[in-house]
Chains A and B, each alone.
Chain A
């Protein structure tokens, strides 16, 4: 199992450009989510999905779109990049919606995005 795979690892965009951050998991997990990590701000939830075809907003959804057409993939789209979106983005998945140690959140290794 590869776990949660994120691509690319690094990306530089100019203001106004759009791009898609890819996330794939091979663990047949129901739940997938996107977080952004900024210094001193911790991990903030952008969007999440509880199954194929179902997505919802998290704490900081503005400027981002998601879709979940398959169980495995959960891409994050930046519609018109802004310098405020410079961050490290993490995709995470969990086997079920139930909390507990038997269903921990598995993170990818992140995409470091810089918007100039």
Chain B
């Protein structure tokens, strides 16, 4: 109930292609879904986030699609660039007042020039 399942574990995309990372959750109490981006040697940083009352949120080349009935959400990176090569984590708010995020296991994206 407290897990967030993320796939794939790794992804290789050509420059200019679309990168798609998928996440699924079970706990219907989750109501905030951020994505974090992590470059080697750095801590994760917030990339984009969505609430379940909208089906899509777009910021530049990054789009989150949200399917509440299926309890799934995904990150789409359009026109992928080598600079997008990083590890991406989806996450969900764990409910309650503590403010804890539950993270997926991460996807290592490599964008080939």
The chain A residues found within 8 Å of chain B, CB to CB, are 4, 31, 33, 35, 40-45, 48, 50, 56, 58, 90, 92, 94, 96-101, 104-105, 107-110
Contact = CB atoms under 8 A, between A and B. Distances in A.
Nearest to A48: B100
A105 B46 contact: yes
Contact of B43 (A44, A92, A98): A92
Contact of A42 (B41, B93, B103): B103
Nearest to A35: B103
B89 A104 contact: no
A50 B99 CA distance: 8
Contacts of A43: 44, 89, 103, 106
Contacts, number: 65
A97 B49 CA distance: 16
A40 B46 contact: no
A98 B50 CA distance: 14
A97 B99 CA distance: 5
B101 A42 contact: no
A97 B45 CA distance: 18
Interface string B23-63: 00000000110101000011111100100000000000000
Contact of B105 (A42, A48, A56): A42
B74 interface: no
Interface of B: 6, 9, 31-32, 34, 36, 41-46, 49, 89, 93, 97-106
Nearest to A100: B32
Given A42-B6, A50-B98, A50-B99, A99 B43 contact: no
Contacts of B9: 40
Contact of A94 (B43, B97, B99): B99
B47 to A, nearest CB: 10
A94 B9 CA distance: 27
Contacts of A33: 100
A107 B43 contact: yes
B49 A101 contact: yes
Q: Which 9 A-B pairs have the closest CB atoms?
A: A107-B43, A42-B105, A104-B46, A99-B32, A43-B103, A97-B99, A99-B93, A42-B103, A31-B99
